[in-house]
Structure 1
Amino acid sequence: MQLQLPEASVEAQRASRLLHNLIATEIRLQQGWISFARYMELLLYAPDLGYYSGGAAKLGKDGDFTTAPEITPLFGAALAHLATELFTSSPSLQPQILEFGAGSGQLAFDILSELAAGSDEKSALQGYYIVELSAELRARQQLKLREFPQVQWLDRLPEAFSGVVLGNEVLDAMPVELVVLGEQGQGWQQRGVGLSGNDQFIYIDRPADPALIAQIPEADTLTPGHLTEVHPVAIGFMHSLGAMLKAGRGGVAIFFDYGFPAAEYYLQQRDQGTLMCHYRHHAHPDPFYMPGLQDVTAHVDFTAMAVAALDSGLELLGYSSQAAFLLEAGIGQLLLRTSPENALQYLPQANAMQKLVSPAEMGELFKVLVVGMAAELPERFSRHDRSHRL
């Protein structure tokens, strides 16, 4: 199928060809096959050429997608107040925030701005830490956050941390493996990437390691041709998160992302998986198109994330829709700081908030997973908790 997408600049096409050649070289060095997770890792993070490590604009109206912090500062303001509430109610938590993958820096900017506007001493942070793997995004963040000296950048998760951890659309950007159930007698296959005769990327299947298939509930009930993703990289990340918070003796980690519990993720109706590509606000399914110029993501299996957190010694503190979580975090009250009678200012903010909480937009598609130790969410969050669905 020929994709009808905006044409890339000559410079962008050149960068894409360089990344294509780099990946092709690795495939040859690996006897003609690499896993899809390795291919996706190179697409997104290859130094200077990957989607997140290159220099192309990615976020906002001129980029490939828009995230909640780019839509309205009310998102960050609500999280600022929730973090302050968590610090106050949980003595084991240090008053500091760690954000993993901070994008343009907008969420950090909005949280820090909201805390700075508060007169309450409890709003004071000891530090705001950002783990950012992309040098280009880190440079954008440093410019955006230059007025906040408490921000520090890290290259990896620290060994120990106590406080609030935030991840907005982080888990979906972690490389996934593709597996497909072969025809009768073939069993599950791991779908990797090889090269055609004219050096184009193609899928090549190999027998799958049973450990990959173990994530899929009732895998033996699915029908031949069923294609899906499994998430070993994100599971490993959750294990590292658990070790970090245990070493810090207390913490709350909040993840916003689109996805499903396992019982819904692996339904027969999703027999071609959830992998999706985003290029200049166009969504399409071809991960081989213009390597390095498009985002490649998959929905999150929240059951697998919760199980990994529990296995690492953390507790499941909550799982809900984004709409329910933000409303309990007080986003509606924050909107009302602007009078509805001031239509010129109120209506744009109300419309932006509506995008975050409407079931027809991000409110239901996006979920919130909260894990941690030596801390709890405020009681009101239990009213819409869906942990029983995981």
Structure 2
Amino acid sequence: MNLASPKPHSLPVPEPVALEHSRRLAEHIAAAVADSGGWLPFDRYMELALYAPKLGYYAAGAAKFGRLAADGSDFVTAPELSPLFARTLARQLGDVFELAQSAQVLEFGAGSGRLAADLLLALEAHGTPCEQYCIMELSGELRARQRETIATAAPHLVGRVTWLDTLPDAFAGAMIGNEVLDAMPVRLFARRQGVWCERGVTIADGRFAWEERALHGPLPEALAPLDALPAGQDYVTETHEAASAFVRSVAPLLARGVLLLVDYGFPAGEYYHAQRGQGTLMCHYRHQAHDDPFYYPGLQDITAHVEFTGIAAAGVDAGLELLGFTSQARFLLNSGVTSLLGELDPSDLATFLPATAAAQKLLSEAEMGELFKVIAFGRGIPAEAMLTGFAAGDRSHTL
């Protein structure tokens, strides 16, 4: 049985081995649908599609992170795009080390290991070396890739890296997550002719399909701003219980230092806007974006933009202090990315042109500069201290 959606004509056809892997995951999800009475909430479908042991997208062997479809990857992140991202972030982390009196980093979901490798090198070059770099990564395949990346780029520093099987009881230093929240399962809701429904997954005509069920309980509190929608307007959106729960779960670990999260998204006022009526759910396969989460499960990423007001509330409710919220562009500019660019030799075109092109993507409002945001929480940081990355253009008031 081919449970996946028919292939969108613009997307490349997976290799036979990949198709077989997807088929096995689809059957695993289909069994979960059957066990749930024929209807699975979308957040559970997304959890299985991404994280089912040995089968989910992040639990199996796809390349995922890279710059081109030709390398087998599906999307590019800021660290993959340019070492300027890590070199600039390292300046902020150096300050955090001093404030926290601890030169340790704990990274959640380290991807290919590129950010870890570049940060270790940049922190050393900046004169604020990292004493211990901890990585919390559940995927064995990604752990192996991270180790290889770090050992290749910074062989003399790989001994400072530790992969954790469980979270520590307490941590002092800098906790970071780059594009971690957007890959956490979301619930989907739809309003049809004034009635709110939860969107879930069923099987119809032998394929995964959407099915909406009317809500019988209260609407999630996050959707309260949508009560003001015009009576006849249909609407689809997401709520982010898993991402908020993640922040609440890691907040108690921070004994002293900063939790820094970078991701794409909006404050609630922008997220739950009347004009954002189709939600933000998106899938990525071979650097092409589309909106069908049923296309070959396990071979594509499934994401949603982050609703940062809920993230801020989760951190504060868990006892952390909100230290700042701003765009990625403003954070990088505040942290000195332009001075790093100024160190490049314009006559060395082979280095200068790719570096400036990458910087344009990181900073441009039309690229990553505005869509991506940076939010920081702290504990035990002196009241008079201000993180450099938020010195100008802080938008905490919009949360």
TM-score strictly above 0.5 = yes
In structure 1, the residue matched to 2:139 is 134
Mapping for residues 263-302 of structure 1, pairs under 5 Å: 263-302=269-308
* Secondary structure of 2:259's aligned partner: strand
Which is further off, 378-387 or 3-12? 378-387
1:70 aligns with 2:80: yes
Q: Deviations over 1:224-244 (max 9, x none)?
A: 521100000001001012111
In structure 2, the residue matched to 1:87 is 97
Quick one: structure 1 residues 317 and 45, their matched pair in 2 at CA, closer, same or farther if it must change by over 3 Å? same
Unpaired segments ≥5 residues, structure 1: none
One of 180, 200, 203 as aligned partner of 1:170: 180
One of 203, 208, 229 as aligned partner of 2:210: 203
AA at the equivalent of 2:210: Y
AA at the equivalent of 1:112: L
Aligned partners of 2:216, 2:147: CA distance in 1, in Å? 42
AA at the equivalent of 2:269: A
In structure 2, the residue matched to 1:10 is 16
What count of residue pairs does the alignment treat as equivalent? 379
Quick one: structure 1 residues 339 and 52, their matched pair in 2 at CA, closer, same or farther if it must change by over 3 Å? same
Unpaired segments ≥5 residues, structure 2: 1-5
One of 160, 165, 184 as aligned partner of 1:150: 160
Q: CA shift at 1:352, angstroms?
A: 1.1
In structure 2, the residue matched to 1:344 is 350
Quick one: structure 1 residues 377 and 173, their matched pair in 2 at CA, closer, same or farther if it must change by over 3 Å? farther
Aligned partners of 2:257, 2:304: CA distance in 1, in Å? 27
In structure 1, the residue matched to 2:108 is 100
Q: Deviations over 1:188-243 (max 9, x none)?
A: 211111111x3311122224375662012423112552110000000100101211
* Secondary structure of 1:364's aligned partner: coil
* Secondary structure of 1:11's aligned partner: helix
Scaled by the length of structure 1, the TM-score of the pair is 0.93
In structure 2, the residue matched to 1:378 is 387
Q: Is the 8 A contact 2:188 2:199 kept in 1?
A: yes
Aligned partners of 1:331, 1:272: CA distance in 2, in Å? 35
Q: CA shift at 1:341, angstroms?
A: 3.3
Quick one: structure 1 residues 10 and 35, their matched pair in 2 at CA, closer, same or farther if it must change by over 3 Å? same
Aligned partners of 1:164, 1:237: CA distance in 2, in Å? 16
Aligned partners of 2:360, 2:36: CA distance in 1, in Å? 49
Q: Is the 8 A contact 2:7 2:295 kept in 1?
A: no
In structure 1, the residue matched to 2:196 is 188
Scaled by the length of structure 2, the TM-score of the pair is 0.91
Aligned partners of 2:160, 2:389: CA distance in 1, in Å? 31
Aligned partners of 1:209, 1:55: CA distance in 2, in Å? 40
AA at the equivalent of 2:307: D
* Secondary structure of 2:314's aligned partner: helix
